[in-house]
Amino acid sequence: MTKPVRIALAGPGAFGIKHLDGLKNIEGVEVTSIIGRELPKAQEVAQKYGARHVTTSLDEALARPDVDAVILCTPTQMHAQQSIAAMKAGKHVQVEIPLCDKLEEGKAVVEMQKQTGLVAMCGHTRRFNPSHQYVHKKIRAGEFNVLQMDVQTYFFRRTNMNALGQPRSWTDHLLWHHAAHTVDLFAYQCGSPIVKANAVQGPIHPTLGIAMDMSIQLQAANGAICTLSLSFNNDGPLGTFFRYIGDTATYIARYDDLFNGKEEKIDVSEVDVSMNGIELQDREFIAAIREGREPNSSVAKVLPCYEVLHDLEQQLQ
């Protein structure tokens, strides 16, 4: 019997619940601790998912011997600091996207991973969605090359609410969070580093203090280009939609679903063991811990994305 991997989850909000739902499908995984800002809510989640320990203190959970690894679904501004604290405590860590909102903090996380040798992974889910995996396998087989990606990331976020319609204690960000998905995926699918990046943004929201609309252009070293449009003002179909224009086909990815350029659905059910990108992301985290290897979307592998975001932020300032 394989020794169970014992997980502490910090931040049992909308995205934390997605991880808990994914983890329950992975054999040999035990959620032992839930860390939440509001104790009653954390206790409710812990009871539902069978975690025996509940706390409002991450340090308390990190000190526990029945915790091998931590998944951080906490506010963006805490990600780097908490990732470093987890590794200092000897725990593997998976931190939700984004790794950081300051480049020097992301570099510090990568340095701590090198010092400890622990598994440190960032939740760049697009690498794991079956739709994007399908395209990636075509690329690796030499059957498809990306010439252009056209991406729309559209939400309606004029108030500070999460995906469950609950008030947030922090403010989301188009550049450091939502653009991170596409910037990383573009370089990953091209197999080529980003060498040009330009951005413009719309007006700053008077109370949220962030740009609500943004446009980003990217070019990879191999010549492929990407155009990314982002908005928190969009009152229509919500989500992120990817169009891959390539040398042999066109693909349209909508989360875990994939279509060709004629809007005919492509069966991606056999691409991986699940159709849930978050579960597949968690499976990679657990497998990397068990196998003692670097995971796909390790903090080191995704750091170039944050270097691009840093450069874009400098432009926008």
309 located within any domain: no
Distance of alpha carbon 261 from alpha carbon 246, whole angstroms: 11
317 located within any domain: no
Q: Note the pTM of the prediction, 2 decimals.
A: 0.95
Q: What is the pLDDT of residue 1?
A: 54
Q: What is the pLDDT of residue 82?
A: 98
**Strand 225-231 versus strand 213-220 pairing type:** antiparallel
Report the sign of the C-alpha dihedral through residues 155, 156, 159, 163, in that order: negative
- The CATH number of whichever domain residue 166 belongs to comes to 3.30.360.10
Q: Are residues 61 and 164 in the same domain?
A: no
Q: Are residues 244 and 149 in the same domain?
A: yes
Distance of alpha carbon 200 from alpha carbon 282, whole angstroms: 34
Q: Are residues 77 and 140 in the same domain?
A: no
Give the amino acid at 69. A
Q: Are residues 116 and 136 in the same domain?
A: no
Q: Are residues 226 and 102 in the same domain?
A: no
Q: Are residues 142 and 184 in the same domain?
A: yes
Contacts of range 234-239, beta carbons closer than 8 Å, 24 or more positions apart: 234/154, 234/155, 234/156, 235/156, 236/154, 237/154, 238/154, 238/155, 238/156, 239/153, 239/154, 239/155
Q: How many domains does the chain have?
A: 2
- The CATH number of whichever domain residue 61 belongs to comes to 3.40.50.720
99 located within any domain: yes
Distance of alpha carbon 192 from alpha carbon 295, whole angstroms: 19
Q: Where are the beta strands (DSSP E) in 249-301?
A: 250-254, 257-260, 265-266
Asked if 95 contacts 105 with a C-beta cutoff of 8 angstroms, the reply is no
311 located within any domain: no
Q: Are residues 238 and 293 in the same domain?
A: no
Q: Are residues 253 and 284 in the same domain?
A: no
Residues 6+ apart with CB under 8 A from 82: 10, 58, 70, 72, 74, 93, 95
Q: Give the DSSP per-residue string, 82-122.
A: HHHHHHHTT-EEEEESPS-SSHHHHHHHHHHHHHH---EEE
Q: Are residues 14 and 117 in the same domain?
A: yes
Distance of alpha carbon 66 from alpha carbon 279, whole angstroms: 22
Asked if 171 contacts 210 with a C-beta cutoff of 8 angstroms, the reply is yes
Q: Are residues 282 and 174 in the same domain?
A: no
93 located within any domain: yes
Structure tokens at 107: 């570099």
Q: What is the pLDDT of residue 168?
A: 67
Q: Are residues 111 and 36 in the same domain?
A: yes
308 located within any domain: no
From the number of C-beta atoms within 10 Å of its C-beta (0-12, 13-18, 19+), residue 4 rates as: middle
Q: Give the DSSP per-residue string, 148-193.
A: EEEEEEE-B-SSSB-TTSPBPSS---IIIIIIHHHHHHHHHHHTS-
Q: What is the pLDDT of residue 160?
A: 72
From the number of C-beta atoms within 10 Å of its C-beta (0-12, 13-18, 19+), residue 220 rates as: buried
Asked if 139 contacts 146 with a C-beta cutoff of 8 angstroms, the reply is yes
81 located within any domain: yes
**Strand 53-55 versus strand 69-72 pairing type:** unpaired
Domain range for 137: 129-271
Give the amino acid at 273. V
Rg (CA), the chain: 19
> Would you write out the chain's pLDDT as a tens digit for each of its 317 residues?
578 999 999 999 999 999 999 999 999 999 999 999 999 999 999 999 999 999 999 999 999 999 999 999 999 999 999 999 999 999 999 999 999 999 999 999 999 999 999 999 999 999 999 999 999 999 999 999 999 999 999 999 888 776 666 776 667 789 999 999 999 999 999 999 999 999 999 999 998 889 999 999 999 999 999 999 999 999 989 999 999 999 999 999 998 999 999 999 999 999 999 999 999 999 999 999 999 999 999 999 999 999 999 999 999 99
Q: In the 8-state DSSP scheme, what is residue 204?
A: B
User: Of 88, 117, 113, which is closest to residue 99 (Cα–Cα)?
Assistant: 113
49 located within any domain: yes
Q: Are residues 104 and 201 in the same domain?
A: no
